[in-house]
Each structure stands twice: as structure tokens, then as C-alpha cells.
Amino acid sequence: MHLRDGLETHVTVRQRYEHLVDTGAIERDTAQERIVARLDRLIDQIAARRLADKSSALGWLFGKRRSTREGVRGLYIHGAVGRGKTMLMDMFFELVPARAKRRVHFNDFMTEVHDRIQRHRRARKDGTVKEDDPIPPVARALAEEAWVLCFDEFTVTDIADAMVLSRLFSALFAAGVALVATSNVAPQDLYRDGLNRQLFLPFIPILERNTDVLSLDAEKDYRLEKLGRMPVYITPLGEEADRRMDEAWKAATEGRPENTTDLALMGRELHIPRACGQAARFTFTELCDKPLGARDYLALAKRFDTLFIDRVPVLDQTRRNPAKRFILLIDTVYDRKMRLVVSADAAPDALYAGRPGVTEAFEFERTASRLIEMRSRDWLEDWMERRQLHSETNAAEQAQA
């Protein structure tokens, strides 16, 4: 360890891991510790390669030419969800001493690759480039930009990806690119049952020759434990509730950047102010004060599996329409078995303060009961199981499409 600006920093994955254990942020896990050791060894190898480049006269003169870089064997880490793969890779990425490094979701990377291929083909048609084959120049450009690549959630479901992976990564590895990837499956199970899988199969030995394949078989599903500790119904409203909602959002999205998006809906668009992966976040005003209906809420439930609702007020007969929309929204969330995180001004059974006997008061009894049920550990565990099954089913369907 060393000090920077008076603060203690870590120079190895082991030091960062031990710090998290010592502070109670994570539990020690022997399976994770084995991966930590391998990540630190890879950091040493990359540092040695970088030093060799600097000490070489040719390295000084042609430091940007990755095509001559001696390769460093990377890592492919696979295991079940929630075992800490992404956490460990993030530690590695932060600490690896390479300026030309990149961490990206694998699907986003391949979308970019196809875009570059299309741009090259247009340039070839226009006569501004000479190479007919777009793969070599695309690989060279990618290797120039980053010779340490970190892929989160390495999975192959698209035949267009499957058909270019062998040639693309052969070129990337030949250019000296070091790969660190996490995945839920071993290399041999990638693109299993995919259309024309024989076109993909040559990629597997290429991957295995250029990475050490490691299984992370941690005993616990730490993601489930983390979500289990995450508050899902926060009351009363105020700055503390807002802070805890922000913390829960960060945990649910694993700190990834959020964005805004729109869902096309029968000739109009439903605006999503905050979205990240399968999670969406709204205020009560955005969801229930606006003239939304069953079709809107069902579209949300089909697109997302986690919904955050900030600042739900106590309702009564003076806010009859927002109360009806909230009842309908909770029914949809419950029926679609979504994960719900709410900040509210009162406990579920006190959220409606209108006159007893009116329709909304009766319907709100069901809403309160469902809000209470969706706070339970059983609900979370069932949601996690459904989410994993849904992910595996989608991957299989896309591979066969």
C-alpha cells in the first residue's frame, strides 16, 4: 500500500480485497481468493510487458504499434450469478497499469464492432480505403485504442457475432491484446444450440489458447445477499429516504451509468427518465399524477424487472385518480412479479387516509397487502430465480432465432 494525497491506496487486487473484508464490505471467500491471486499475477505480467516496451528503443519509437506487442495470456472467469465475478474484474481494471485499457459489456462491444465493419465497407465502396476485408483494420484500430480488454457478461446469442468472433479475436490476440472476461458459462457452453454453431466453434480453442479459463464456484450468491440487505420500502419521506433510495439504486444497477429512454406505445412514447439494464426509476408524480393507464404499466413490466418509485404520498379521496393509478400500478408489478423499491410517506397499511367504505379504501387494502408481501425475502428469492431462468431462456431463444 502507499499514500496518495494523504489517502491510503491499494496497488494489488489482494490489498483491495483484504480492505473490503476488513471493513465488512464483503465476506472472505476462498474461491474468490484464488481468482484474486490470478488477477494479481496477470497485473504483474502486464506491468512487465509495459516496462519491456518502454525499455526498448523500438518501443519508444513505435510505441503505438500494437501489432508487434508480445501477447499476455488473459483470463476467462465463469460461474453462477452473484458470485463476485464483476466485482473482482472491476478491481483488476482499476489497478492494472495500462493506459490503453477498456472495460465494456460484451454485447456493447460487438455492436460497436459491427458498426465499424459497416463503416469500413462504406468507405471501401467510396474508395477511401483499399482493404476489402474489414476485420483486419477493425481489429488493428481496436488494439490501438486498448490492448487490455475487460468484458463483463461474455455471452454469444447472435449469429452475426458468432460468425466474426474467430477472425476478430485471432487478429486482436495477434496484436497483443490481453483479455479478461466474466461469463455465466464455460467456453464450451458458449452459443450452445445456436444457429449454425459450427461457424462459431473455431472461436473456442482460440479463446482457450489465449486465456486461462477459471471457474468461480463461490459458496454464496453474494448478489442475492446484497439485494436482501437492500431496503425496499423506505419511510418516512425526507433527505434520509432519498439517500437510501439512491444507495439502493446504486446497488441494483451495480453502479453502471443510467440513461433516459422511451418505449413506443400505440403511436406515442412512454418516457423513462432513469433506466439502467432491467431497472427503471420514477417519482410517484411521473407514474401516477400523469394520465397513464394499464397499457403503460404493462409496457413497463414487460421491459423492466425492477421498478423504483420515489416519494409516494399519503393518498385520500381528494387525489382519487392518482390513487386509482397507484393501485393499478402495484397490481401490475405484483402480477408480473417484479422487484419493487419504494420510498413512501407512511407504512403500506397507512398510505390511504380517505374515508372508510369508499372503493379506493377497499382496493387499497389489497395494495397494502401486496406491498408488504413484496418486501419479503421469499419474494426476492423467487424474483432472482425467475430472473436467472428468464435470462437463460432468452439466450437460448436468441441463439435459435
pLDDT tens profile 154-196: 888 888 888 899 999 999 999 999 999 998 888 998 988 788 8
CATH 3.40.50.300 domain range(s) in the chain: 2-215
Task: Give the three-state DSSP class for 19.
Answer: helix
Residue-level pLDDT at 8? 43
**Considering the domain 2-215, what is its CATH architecture?**
3-Layer(aba) Sandwich (3.40)
Alpha-carbon distance of 241 to 125, in angstroms, equals 57
pLDDT computed for residue 181 by the predictor = 94
Q: Grid coordinates standing for 26?
A: 464483503
Question: How many angstroms separate the CA atoms of 67 and 71, rounded?
Answer: 10
CB burial of residue 291 (10 Å; 0-12, 13-18, 19+): exposed
Cβ atoms of residues 98 and 148 within 8 Å: yes
pLDDT score, position 264: 84
CA distance 34 to 32: 5
Integer angstrom CA distances of residue 68 from 64, 137, 208: 10, 15, 21
Task: Classify domain 222-382 at the CATH class level.
Answer: alpha beta
Give the per-residue SS3 of 183-206. ECCCHHHCCCCCCCHHHCCCHHHH
* Res 317: pLDDT: 85
pTM score: 0.58
Kindly list the distances between the CA atom of residue 181 and the CA atoms of 7, 77, 85, 155, 213, in Å, as whole numbers in the listed order.
30, 6, 9, 10, 10
Question: How do 2-4 and 7-9 pair as beta strands?
Answer: antiparallel
Determine the pLDDT at residue 228.
58
Q: What is the pLDDT of residue 224?
A: 56
Instruction: Tell me the C-alpha distance between 233 and 397, whole Å.
Output: 35
Q: Which residues, 6 or more positions from 84, have their beta carbon under 8 angstroms from its beta carbon?
A: 26, 29, 32, 216, 218, 222
Q: What is the pLDDT of residue 1?
A: 46
User: Which stretches of the chain drop beneath a pLDDT of 50?
Assistant: 1-9, 57, 59-60, 63-68, 392-401
Give me the sign of the Cα torsion angle 49, 52, 54, 60: negative
* Helix, strand or coil, per DSSP, at residue 400: helix
